[in-house]
Structure 1
Amino acid sequence: MAWNLLKPKKQKKKKKQTATKQSKQGQNPLSTNLSDNKNQLRSIYQDCSDFILRSFMISGKHQAILIYMDGLSNREEIDDNVLSPLMVKTQEDQSDLQIDKLIKNRVSISDVKEVKTIEDCIQLISSGNPVVLVNNSKTGFSVGLPQWEKRSIEAPEAEKAIRGPREGFVETLAVNISMLRRKIRSPKLKMQSMEIGRYTKTNVIITYIDGVVDKTLVEEVENRLKRIDIDGILDSGVIEEFIEDNPYSPFPQILETERPDTVTGNLLEGRIAILVDGSPSALIVPITFYSFLQANEDYYNRFLIATAIRWLRFILVIISLLLPSLYVALLTFHQEMIPTALLISMASSREQVPFPAIVEVLIMEITFEALREAGLRLPKQIGSAVSIVGALVIGESAVSAGIVSAPMVIVVAITGIASFTIPRYSAAIALRMLRFPLIFLGGMLGLLGIMLGIIMVIVHLSTLRSFGVPYLSPMAPMKYSEIKDTMMRAPWWKLNKRPHLTGEYNEYRQSSGQKPSPIRGKD
């Protein structure tokens, strides 16, 4: 079945060791002897200058220690709401109140959890939650007081907003979750948490809307994430390579975005988002090829404008992929297809050029890509000047020196401008990579080589899957009810059905019959 999800790959025996190691964790319980716990934690955090261990007395009669990492916890809150209340003697101390109830009554923090193992202590301390351990007690207490520097919410630079919300994800996972909760105010929005990374212990969230998403898809995402066994996760891009269906394809099979409204829109269509702590980029699965050619503004502008821009975008994508190779093929093998006046003009401009057309276009394309990459890596103020001025100066100098012809500079410039219209960087760079094989095919076999290259690309796209969903869906296989949101964008009052991504799904997302009707005045 085309719509069935891919079966999880068989795990090797070596990978089963990960589950065995994880099952062994949590088997080191806290000791009733406070000195043993203190010595064990000090040996674990040896040579860690930011490890803080504060000894004190609870009500003057219970020995205790407070442990936290400097810079991860709120010191003022610790002093005011943890140490001060616990160290003060009150009339409550005369009663036979148990130590756990005493701590919970005294500490004026909403998030207080019991801790029973050394591993739990390490995990909580590393997350910024101070831990209180008491003598003659096998149970410790963690206090929810994490605090660290975080970036303010701003519009993402890689995804400019013409119309719509101007906010983007940040590196703090709690902030990103709150931004989604603010947009989807329903308990149906689920957040499943897991940790990935032997040393980083990175928190990863799987979020979806219950009742809209297919449960089989949720299980598949969980299985692929659980198979990841690596030292650390520094960004969502690391996870993307581990869970995509075809890692050797140049085309991305997972959508990456920094915009909460993009994630919200995809969740409402039955997709799943993966949020990674420390990364401002969310991953969305499953996805199709047409999703990479759609911008957020397509859904905020009127449908006529959005449809016209989408058609323009598709045309420019074809130009960015094929224009250099077509130029080389026509100039090398099919001069009879060029109008005579244009052919004479092109021939005169190439009189002083010592290279064939294929070498000429490769020189210009590589130079253009180098300028674009340099513009990305340099500071913002300098980068734009280098990319624009550099292209103008080098292009003019190359033409004057007779290295390349003027029509070639125009072709490369149009190709570069067309590639900038692709909304997603990962899809744009895939098309930029494919441009070079097509140039070689056009230079060696002419239009026949270009047609062979296009057929190979289409066949490859037809074999791709994104978590079991055909990459060219809904065009291949054809689903007429979903075409209204691919090549075109139908009015919102016609988009009644959700995309059929996997098995069972919630079919309708809005009521029918909402077409606006004009109010006619009296004659």
Structure 2
Amino acid sequence: MARRAFSKGRKNQGKQKNNEQSTTTKLESYLAANIQQLKQLLDQPGDLVIREFTVGEANITSAIVYIDGLIDRQLVQDSILGNLQDISVKRQSPEESTELFNEIYQTFISITSIEKGNTLDDVANAIVSGKTVFLLDGQETVLIMDTKGGETRSIEQPISETVVRGPRAAFVENLGTNLSLLRRSIQTPDLRFKTHQIGKRSKRSLVVAYVDGVINPKIVKEVNRRLEMIDIDDAPESGFIEQWIEDSFLSPFPQMNTTERADKAASGLLQGKVVILLDGTPFVLIAPVTLGDILKSPEDYYERWLIGSLLRSLRYFAAFIALFLPALYISLVTIHPGLLPSELALSIAASRQGVPFPPVVEAFLMVITMELLQEAGIRLPTPIGQTIGIVGGLVVGESAVSAGIVSPIMVIVVALTAIAAYANPSFSIGITFRIVRFGFMLAASILGLFGIILVYIMINIHLVNLKSFGIPYSTPFAPTMARDWKDLVIRAPMTMLTKRPKFLEPEDAKSGNKGAKDS
């Protein structure tokens, strides 16, 4: 068996080596041979279109090759086929194939983006990425024309981030459209786009966007270095990129911000951060990020500073409830009932009359039930999911209380905890709170308030040591940067927010833009 496996592995390696050699093979001067090699490489897919025709009065055979569904048919017809077919009708074409090829390249192809290729790899990669390839008999070079098209989703409102006030343009799955949204938001020649190819087989386009003269060059260098180390066949979503380049894969806290809002990404660029855009997904990554950045929302800046400060303070309070409320209930009812007021303690004891489970089992049972209802509501179709979430929560909670399995106050605690977990603008941090909550509950069931304090200290130690592309995650809390506290829990008036965050060490510290400063 071992010999067979080894032999099979040798064969697979040899086959892979042959494939690599075939894709880097130089094109031949015979059109028929090149088309035959291309068919063999792509295994003659049903959507591969090869249109052969003659050009010039010498009737030199040529062809265009593309994949149907990935190209703009009208563009190919008007700017390529129509022009090439007019050569034999309206012009006295050169007799030499090379001269004809050069004249076609310089005169007859009315496509803005056109380049030359001379290997089978160039042709294959161009075709599967939505480009059209022109081949001329007698030439070892081809023309690769950008004719990407097909059905795409139009710009709509963000789905995962509800907009109350502000721009409603959200990113889509098309990378070119997303880049244009950033261009429209930041109309400066200093906006830079660094392109990478991600995926050994898919070869998806990934762009690192930043504002030159604002961002710290060390951040750009580190981001590009990590992206170049990615070794994967395909990255269908930006979550793959996030997991490859994050600082600590063991941390439950998100080390990059994710958004589909163009205004949020643009304001991150103006702060001195990078935005990572991947073709095929509307969700972009913003890095580096801190805990304070994740708890911010663009609406904090679109409203007056008093309203923005109130909303942000409520968000911090919601984070406290999402983390500590079930654990506090367990510790106060089980281990420290003397800390409760007498009337409240008697009321809780009366509500738990007949409940067969201790508070810790009761709390874990209800929290896990709520997690199941939330997950079911997300996975089901939208109309059914909303019904399951609302009706399921009411029915399960009411039935559990009526059956005497849990107390009414436990239902209130779990409901408040679930609501508070999603009061924050980041979906990822809500999941993090749900994970950490179980650690607090377990510690509270063993040591009470002392256990909660110990877990809280452990989390703070973790946050202080955690970094996002070299930036401490707990900044500006620790290390303390008093200047950045003006835009932390309380949002100062807009006239006072004239400097970019100090912890990012931007090249241009003073902000000429007094608009949104969210990450």
- Could you say if the C-alpha distance between residues 257 and 42 of structure 1 is closer, same or farther in structure 2, counting changes exceeding 3 Å? same
Q: What is the rounded CA distance, in whole Å, between the counterparts of 1:90 and 1:56 in structure 2?
A: 13
The answer to whether the Cα contact below 8 Å between 1:54 and 1:65 also exists between their aligned partners in 2 is yes
Distance 1:171 1:50 in 2: 22
Cα deviation for residue 501 of structure 1 reads 3.7
Q: CA deviation at 1:333?
A: 0.8
Aligned to 1:51: 48
Write the mapping of 1:49-448 to structure 2, written as runs, cut at 5 A.
49-60=46-57, 61-88=59-86, 89-90=88-89, 92-95=91-94, 98-104=99-105, 105-448=107-450
Aligned to 2:31, which of 26, 31, 34? 34
More off after superposition, 190-199 vs 241-250: 190-199
In the TM superposition, residue 91 of structure 1 has moved relative to its aligned partner by 5.4
Percent identity between matched residues is 40
| 1:26 Cα offset (Å) | 7.9
Alpha carbons 2:70, 2:150 under 8 Å: kept = yes
Per-residue deviation, 1:24: 8.3
SS at match of 1:67: strand
- Following superposition of structure 1 onto structure 2, how do residues 1-16 of structure 1 map, counting pairs within 5 Å? none
Contact 2:154–2:172 under 8 Å retained in 1: yes
Q: Structure 1 residues 261, 94: closer, same or farther in 2, change over 3 A?
A: closer
SS of 1:216's equivalent?
helix
Structure 1 unmatched ranges of 5 or more: 1-19, 513-523
The residue type paired with residue 290 of structure 2 is: T
What CA deviation, in whole Å up to 9, does each residue of 1:418-466 have, x standing for no partner? 1121110101110111111111110111111111011111111111000
What code does the residue aligned with 2:340 have?
I
Rounded to whole Å, the distance in 2 between the matches of 1:109 and 1:239 is 33
CA distance in structure 2 between the partners assigned to 1:502 and 1:184 by the alignment = 20
Alpha-carbon distance between aligned partners in 2 of 1:86 and 1:157, rounded to the nearest angstrom: 45
Closer/same/farther in 2, CA of residues 25 and 415 from structure 1, 3 Å limit? farther
Q: Distance in 2 between matches of 1:118 and 1:219?
A: 33
1:410 counterpart SS class? helix
* CA distance in 1 between partners of 2:79 and 2:409 (Å): 73
Q: 2:508 is paired with a residue of what secondary structure?
A: coil
Distance in 2 between the 1:494 and 1:25 partners? Answer: 62
Letter in 2 for 1:78: V
Find the aligned partners of 2:272 and 2:138 in 1 and give their Cα distance: 52
Aligned to 2:6: none
Tell me which residue corresponds to 1:462.
464
- Distance in 2 between the 1:271 and 1:369 partners? 34
Shift of 1:500: 2.5
How many residue pairs were aligned? Answer: 493
User: Conserved in 1, the CA contact under 8 Å of 2:483 and 2:502?
Assistant: no
Q: Secondary structure at the match of 1:130?
A: strand
Q: Output the CA distance in 2 between the equivalents of 1:91 and 1:276.
A: 44
Amino acid at match of 1:37: N
What SS is found at the alignment partner of 1:93? coil
Shift in Å, 1:84: 2.9
> Which segment is superposed worse, 82-91 or 179-188?
82-91
Q: Deviations over 1:355-375 (max 9, x none)?
A: 000000011101111111111
Q: TM-score, normalised by structure 1?
A: 0.91
- Superposition deviation, residue 94 in structure 1: 4.8
Q: 1:453-491 deviations in whole A, cap 9, x for unaligned?
A: 111111111110000000010110011111101111111
State the Cα RMSD in Å: 2.0
Residues 270, 501 of structure 1: 8 Å contact kept: no
SS of match in other structure, 2:65: strand
Q: In structure 1, what is the Cα distance between the partners aligned to 2:297 and 2:122?
A: 44
* Cα deviation digits, residues 111-158 of structure 1 (max 9, x gap): 222222211111211121110111111221122221121111111121
Shift of 1:27: 4.4
Using the TM superposition, give the Cα deviation of residue 502 of structure 1 relative to its aligned residue in structure 2, in angstroms. Answer: 4.3
Q: 2 CA distance for matches of 1:265 and 1:147?
A: 30
Q: Which of 482, 485, 493 is the matching residue for 2:484? A: 482
Partner of 1:207: helix, strand, or coil?
A: strand
1:100 CA displacement: 2.8
Query: Structure 2, unaligned stretches of length 5 or more?
Result: 1-16, 515-519
Distance of 2:40 and 2:402 partners within structure 1:
71
Q: Per-residue deviation at 1:90?
A: 4.2
Cα distance in 1 for partners of 2:373, 2:60 equals 68
| Native 8 Å contact 1:234 1:279 kept in 2 | yes
TM-score (norm 2): 0.91
Give the superposition deviation at 1:232: 0.6
Instruction: Indicate how the Cα distance of structure 1 residues 309 and 94 shifts in structure 2: closer, same or farther if over 3 A, else same.
Output: closer
The whole-number CA distance in structure 1 between the counterparts of 2:205 and 2:393 is: 43
For the structure 1 residues 80 and 313, does the alpha-carbon distance in structure 2 shift closer, same or farther, using more than 3 Å as the test? closer
Q: Please say which of residues 209-218 and 67-76 is displaced more in the overlay.
A: 67-76
- Residue in structure 1 matched with residue 5 of structure 2 by the alignment: none
**By how many angstroms is 1:93 displaced?**
2.2
1: CA distance, partners of 2:267 / 2:90? 57
Instruction: For residue 28 of structure 1, report the CA deviation from its aligned partner.
Output: 2.5
Match of 1:497, as an amino acid?
A: K
Q: Distance in 2 between matches of 1:438 and 1:33?
A: 72
Q: Is the 8 A contact 1:28 1:118 kept in 2?
A: yes
Secondary structure of the corresponding residue to residue 66 of structure 1 = strand
Query: Deviation of residue 182 (structure 1)?
Result: 0.7
SS at structure 1 position matched to 2:124: helix
Contact 1:286-1:501 within 8 A present in 2 as well: no
